[in-house]
Amino acid sequence: MAGNVLEFGDNNFDAEVLKAEVPVLVDFWAPWCAPCRIIAPAVEELATQYTGRAKVGKINIDEHQGVAQRFNIMSIPTLLVFKGGQAVGQIVGAAPKPQLEALLKKALGA
């Protein structure tokens, strides 16, 4: 993963996301997904912008199907924001960076 973007998987999702003390933006993606590649730079920018205030990471649904099934991910990209162990926001599809940032800001209470 690039820069500050974390890599989540079935093995670390609960510890890194659900038990996180800060909001977490999770990008459910796959390498073959063109819209996923389109939003990747925006996700990377948010990871850098919100370092220390939030976590930003990706989970490859081809390699980690357990988490995707748990959260009923039916299409990608799907971005979920978690706060206090709960999903508090969702965007499905290749949304522009301002829309992704608004989702994260809402979870931060900004």
Residues with catalytic function: 33, 36
Cβ neighbours, 10 Å, residue 29: 23
Task: Give CA–CA dist 68/73, Å, rounded.
Answer: 5
Own/partner long-range contacts of 46-50 (Cβ < 8 Å, ≥24 apart): 46/97, 46/100, 46/101, 46/104, 47/3, 47/4, 47/5, 47/6, 48/3, 48/4, 49/101, 50/25, 50/104, 50/108
β 55-60/86-92 pair status: unpaired
